[in-house]
Amino acid sequence: MKKRGISPIIATVLLIAIVIVIAIILFLWFMNMSQEAITKFEGTNIELVCEDIDFNAEFHSGNLDISNYGNVPIFSIKLKIYQTGGHETKDLKEDYSSYWPSTGLNQGETVLIPLGIVITNIEEIVLNPVLIGVSESGKKTYVCDKDQQGVSIQF
């Protein structure tokens, strides 16, 4: 009975291919671990600035009323509308640009945005503030986490 194996050339090519694939996976993994630092207010990490945000939001008659009580300007707000069967995400600066201030919501400002949605099937609205900061590659936005400074409106 003849026993045949793969040739040494094919085995070597397969080993090299496996090593290259593993190297690419490790490279991409390490690239995702090291995020570019975004700063605000002369070098303060933007994640720490999120803790200084103080805003309030109320929903009434299809309108969203947002007030900025803090001293951090809010560039935009990511809005998540949870409905029965799913959720919808909106960016107030992009989706409601005619109502949202072009420079963002500064200290002491209030904005009224007509969302035009009916609350019959809405369970919750979550608002996460978006800040703009500076990184090595220019201006970048950062969405503050719901646990940090997000506002939740329950229905």
Does 47 reside within a domain? yes
The Cα–Cα gap between 119 and 83 comes to 9
- Domain holding 54, by residue range, is 39-154
Task: Check if the beta carbon of residue 122 is closer than 8 Å to that of residue 56.
Answer: no
pTM, whole model, 2 decimals? 0.68
Residue 27 domain flag = no
The whole-angstrom separation of Cα 53 and Cα 72 is: 6
Q: Does a structural domain hold residue 130? A: yes
Q: Give the contacts of 83 (CB within 8 A, at least 6 positions apart).
A: 121, 122, 123
Beta bridge partners of 111: 66
- Of all residues in the chain, the percent with pLDDT exceeding 70 is 86
* Structure confidence at residue 15 (pLDDT): 96
Domain containing residue 69: CATH number: 2.60.40
* Residue 143 falls inside a structural domain: yes
Q: Write down the pLDDT at residue 148.
A: 59
What pLDDT score does 22 carry? Answer: 97
Q: Which two tokens stand for residue 52?
A: 């200084």
* End-to-end Cα distance, the chain: 77
Distant-in-sequence, close-in-space partners of 57: CB < 8 Å, separation ≥ 6: 64, 65, 66, 67, 125, 127, 151, 153
Structure letter (DSSP) for residue 105: B
Higher pLDDT, 3 or 124: 124
In a domain, residue 70? The reply is yes
pLDDT for res 119: 62
What mean pLDDT is reported for the chain? 82
pLDDT tens-place string over residues 139-155: 888 888 766 567 878 77
pLDDT in tens, 87-142: 888 888 888 888 888 888 888 899 998 877 656 677 888 889 988 887 777 888 88
Query: Is pLDDT larger for residue 15 or for residue 98?
Result: 15
Mean local confidence (pLDDT), 53-74? 86
Could you tell me the two tokens for 106?
Answer: 């500064």
Query: Is 5 part of any domain?
Result: no
In one-letter notation, the amino acid at residue 125 is I
In a domain, 7, yes or no: no
134 in helix, strand or coil? strand
- Residue 96 inside a domain? The answer is yes
14 pLDDT more than 90: yes
Domains contained in the chain, number: 1
